[in-house]
């Protein structure tokens, strides 16, 4: 079941490696406000984080970034040059930035490694990564995967999925959001924390209960069905028996998924629940090292192995190509020599044969003409003569 209030396994700052927290969330869920809040929290704790902004379209970020995609890629220029709309512009900017991921990780690794020239420099304990508001552009793009895998190869990385709690309070919107979270987990393959934001407006206890108590969700489902209110506050209330049974089976299916999540309720506006969030970060960082890192390394090794195989195949193909073209010349030479020796049927020889044939025909024709002239063979018989000559040269 969801580890909604798991005890902290130590201060997040005590881990030897820093933890990267990648914030994703639907537009308006409060991602930027949340980033601002956790950034301020860490500054207050005198543990300033390393901040990476991957949102090329953000106009005013309320916090400073150490690495900012906007410093390398001009989103508006990308839109203009490639004739793209806003989403295409963000995607292309991310793709362009992903080509520099080695430099980004290089900078990051340099910063988190101890500096012999400055031994008193405070180590970085948290890396905060802000992502574009268009969640699908990041989560479902190749560049998003490349960037995340690169971070995860450098430091333990966890995903914080920010949810707008007041807009998730009906059974159907809750289920939609959970399915989306599930798809993100499958896609990113990194430990995930569900951050129920805006708890100053709507407490997240209902969500925690629904995730841990199947009967409680069933009761809420029955209530929504009775009220014909599957859309909740923001829906149209289009409840049907089909919807009820669908939500029912989905909630059963998601039980296993919930078991792998940490769930926290926060108010980014007032800063409540942030301690609990960092406890969950610590828990997930440990989980990353225990469960995800070996899997990531296995995938990386497989990729390397496949790359090696591809390279070997290419090399093999090339060598075979060289062998064919290398041996082709002598072989062609051999064939020519053999042809000459054996009088084989090379193209040139057949031309010679044709020539000989032609000359023979010509001679016979002339002889025939001469003979015809001499013997007055009529033209009609001449063809027969030639024919006979052909058959009995």
Ligand X SMILES: Nc1nc2c(ncn2[C@@H]2O[C@H](COP(=O)(O)OP(=O)(O)OP(=O)(O)O)[C@@H](O)[C@H]2O)c(=O)[nH]1
* Residue ranges in contact with ligand X by CB under 6 A: 25, 27-33, 133, 197-198, 200-201, 267-269
Contact 361, 353 (CB under 8 A): no
Compare residues 52 and 221 and give the one whose CB is closer to ligand X: 52
In the complex, what is the shortest distance from the CB of residue 84 to ligand X, in angstroms, rounded to a whole number?
19
* E strands present in 131-176: 157-164
Question: From CA 388, how far away is CA 93, in angstroms rounded?
Answer: 84
In the complex, what is the shortest distance from the CB of residue 168 to ligand X, in angstroms, rounded to a whole number?
13
Compare residues 133 and 239 and give the one whose CB is closer to ligand X: 133
Q: Which two tokens stand for residue 203?
A: 């407490």
In the complex, what is the shortest distance from the CB of residue 33 to ligand X, in angstroms, rounded to a whole number?
4
In the complex, what is the shortest distance from the CB of residue 325 to ligand X, in angstroms, rounded to a whole number?
58
Alpha-carbon Rg for the chain in angstroms: 38
In the complex, what is the shortest distance from the CB of residue 51 to ligand X, in angstroms, rounded to a whole number?
15
DSSP per-residue codes, 331-389: HHHHHHHHHHHHT---HHHHHHHHHHHHHHHHHHHHHHHHHHHHHT--HHHHHHHHHHH
Compare residues 29 and 262 and give the one whose CB is closer to ligand X: 29
In the complex, what is the shortest distance from the CB of residue 265 to ligand X, in angstroms, rounded to a whole number?
10
Compare residues 156 and 273 and give the one whose CB is closer to ligand X: 273
Query: Which residues touch 177 (CB under 8 Å, ≥6 apart)?
Result: 163, 168
Compare residues 198 and 208 and give the one whose CB is closer to ligand X: 198
The CA-atom distances, in angstroms, between 118 and each of 47, 99, 121 are 17, 31, 6
In the complex, what is the shortest distance from the CB of residue 164 to ligand X, in angstroms, rounded to a whole number?
8
Compare residues 138 and 292 and give the one whose CB is closer to ligand X: 138
In the complex, what is the shortest distance from the CB of residue 53 to ligand X, in angstroms, rounded to a whole number?
12
Question: From CA 361, how far away is CA 356, in angstroms rounded?
Answer: 8
The CA-atom distances, in angstroms, between 378 and each of 252, 356, 386 are 105, 28, 12
DSSP per-residue codes, 279-335: HHHHHHHHHIIIIIHHHHHHHHHHHHHHHHHHHHHHHHHHHHHHHHHHHHHHHHHHH
Compare residues 27 and 328 and give the one whose CB is closer to ligand X: 27
Question: From CA 66, how far away is CA 53, in angstroms rounded?
Answer: 8
In the complex, what is the shortest distance from the CB of residue 65 to ligand X, in angstroms, rounded to a whole number?
14
Assign 52 to helix, strand or coil: strand
Of 106, 127, 131, nearest in space to 53 by CA: 131
Compare residues 136 and 339 and give the one whose CB is closer to ligand X: 136
Compare residues 138 and 385 and give the one whose CB is closer to ligand X: 138
Token look-up 């919107």 returns 173
Contact 153, 108 (CB under 8 A): no
Cβ-closest residue to ligand X?
133
């Amino acid at each position: 079941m969801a580890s909604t209030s798991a005890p902290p396994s130590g201060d997040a700052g005590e881990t030897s490696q820093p933890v990267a927290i990648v914030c994703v969330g639907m537009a308006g869920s409060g991602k930027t406000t949340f980033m601002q809040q956790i950034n301020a929290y860490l500054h207050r704790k005198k543990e300033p984080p390393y901040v990476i902004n991957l949102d090329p379209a953000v106009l005013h970020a309320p916090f400073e970034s150490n690495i900012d995609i906007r410093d390398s890629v001009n989103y508006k220029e990308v839109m203009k040059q490639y004739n793209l709309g806003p989403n295409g512009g963000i995607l292309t900017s991310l793709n362009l930035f992903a080509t520099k991921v080695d430099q980004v990780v290089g900078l990051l690794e340099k910063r988190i490694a101890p500096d012999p020239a400055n031994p008193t420099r405070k180590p970085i304990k948290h890396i905060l990564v802000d992502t574009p508001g268009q969640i699908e552009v990041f989560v479902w793009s190749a560049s998003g995967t490349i960037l995340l895998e690169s971070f995860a190869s450098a430091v333990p990385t966890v995903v914080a999925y920010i949810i707008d709690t007041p807009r998730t309070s009906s059974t159907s919107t809750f289920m939609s959001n959970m399915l989306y979270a599930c798809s993100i987990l499958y896609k990113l393959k990194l430990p995930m924390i569900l951050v129920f934001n805006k708890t100053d407006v709507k407490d997240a206890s209902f969500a925690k209960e629904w995730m841990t108590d199947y009967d409680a969700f069933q009761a809420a489902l029955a209530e929504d069905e009775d009220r014909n209110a599957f859309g909740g506050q923001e829906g149209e209330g289009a409840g049907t028996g089909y919807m009820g049974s669908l939500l029912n089976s989905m909630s059963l299916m998601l039980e296993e998924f919930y078991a792998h999540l940490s769930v926290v309720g926060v108010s980014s506006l007032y800063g409540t629940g942030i301690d609990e969030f960092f406890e969950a970060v610590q828990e997930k960082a440990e989980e990353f090292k225990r469960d995800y890192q070996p899997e990531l390394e296995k995938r990386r090794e497989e990729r390397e192995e496949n790359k090696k195989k591809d390279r070997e195949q290419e090399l093999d193909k090339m060598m075979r190509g060289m062998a064919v073209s290398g041996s082709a010349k002598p072989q062609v030479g051999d064939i020519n020599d053999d042809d000459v020796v054996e009088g084989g049927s090379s193209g040139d020889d057949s031309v010679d044969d044709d020539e000989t044939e032609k000359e023979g025909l010509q001679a016979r024709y002339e002889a025939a003409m001469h003979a015809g002239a001499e013997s007055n063979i009529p033209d009609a018989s001449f063809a027969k003569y030639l024919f006979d000559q052909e058959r009995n040269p």
